[in-house]
Amino acid sequence: MRPNGYRPMLARLGAPEDLDAQGFLFEPKMDGTRAICYVNSGLRFVNRRDHEIGERYPEFSFRDSIRATSCVLDGEIVVYDGHGNPSFSLLQKREQSRTSMAGLLSSQHPATYVVFDMLELEGRDITALPLEERKDILSATLGDDERL
């Protein structure tokens, strides 16, 4: 762990035959910003450089959709184009703009937090559990929200 907590999982280069290997799960690369979300009374997002970035995403108001008092999520912040595809260029507009522009950009190009894993639940580190089990816990904990 780092001073701010957990480290986001980053994509690794692999070969197509790796997808058939036993013990691997496939998750698509989303062309987003990998970020850890610390959930307590609010939401706090930290990127892989250990910078807090939540102020860039005022549309992330999905705290009530998370059925836990506290947890730590590992996911990717993605901005989709008008056709439902992740758009790295639209995300970069969000990432490189001044914080004062966040409200306007959130309405023009809203982001979504795509969650891949749960690392902690109710103050308990669950990373030693098998990934499939953590994904089951994740599914049971997250509710429906268009930004989550």
CATH number, position 114:
3.30.470.30
Domain that holds residue 83: 28-141
What is the number of domains present in the chain? 1
The owner of tokens 């290997």 is 21
Q: Is residue 110 situated within a structural domain?
A: yes
Q: Is residue 11 situated within a structural domain?
A: no
pTM for this one? 0.86
Q: Is residue 97 situated within a structural domain?
A: yes
Decide: helix, strand or coil at residue 125: strand
For residue range 47-68, what is the model confidence (pLDDT) as tens digits? 988 999 999 999 999 999 999 9
Specify the pLDDT at position 3.
45
For residue range 77-90, what is the model confidence (pLDDT) as tens digits? 999 998 989 999 99
Q: Is residue 22 situated within a structural domain?
A: no
Q: Is residue 84 situated within a structural domain?
A: yes
CA-derived radius of gyration, the chain? 16
The answer to whether 23 and 44 have CB atoms below 8 angstroms apart is: no
The owner of tokens 């998750």 is 27
Q: Is residue 40 situated within a structural domain?
A: yes
Q: Is residue 5 situated within a structural domain?
A: no
For residue range 82-128, what is the model confidence (pLDDT) as tens digits? 898 999 999 988 887 777 788 888 888 999 999 999 999 999 999 99
